[in-house]
Amino acid sequence: MKKSRIIAALVCASIGLTTGAVFAQPSPGGPDTHHEGYRGPGPGEPDHGPHGREEPRHPDWRKGDRLSADYRDHQYVVDDWRGHHLHQPPRGYQWVGVGADYLLVAVASGVIAQVVMSQ
């Protein structure tokens, strides 16, 4: 009887000690970035932007063109236009940042009103 209690206590202790590993979360960079020597994507691997997806290639932006709906997503909207040295957008417009370019875009239609290209 004493032996079965000891075994039951050992089983409970081992279950209690191993459940923490089950609830552990992966590292923020994913399963391949858990070691200290990780330095980003290797040669030939695509470099994804700050939002975790590759920036799509774009043609030259032109005033009067309609901006694709992909770029009107909130992740591209520049809320801190002062911090980016841009003027206040008029009512109904917003600044959109794609790479180092900034576009003043009509919210309702997506028509580009102004283009500030990177140098």
Q: Are 95 and 104 in contact (CB under 8 A)?
A: yes
Max mean pLDDT range (5-19, 24-38, 56-70, 100-114): 100-114
Q: Is 95's pLDDT higher than 90? A: yes
Q: Are 113 and 105 in contact (CB under 8 A)?
A: yes
Residue 75 DSSP one-character state: G
| The pLDDT value given to residue 118 | 75
Residue 118 DSSP one-character state: -
**Structural domain boundaries of the chain?**
2-116
> pLDDT tens for residues 51-75?
555 555 555 788 999 998 888 889 9
Q: Are 96 and 76 in contact (CB under 8 A)?
A: yes
C-alpha span between 4 and 12 (Å, rounded): 12
Which CATH number applies to 2-116?
3.10.450.160
Q: Are 34 and 81 in contact (CB under 8 A)?
A: no
C-alpha span between 116 and 87 (Å, rounded): 11
Sheet holding 101-106, edge to edge: 93-98, 101-106, 112-116
Q: Count H helices, E strands: the chain? A: 1, 3
Q: What pTM does this model have?
A: 0.51
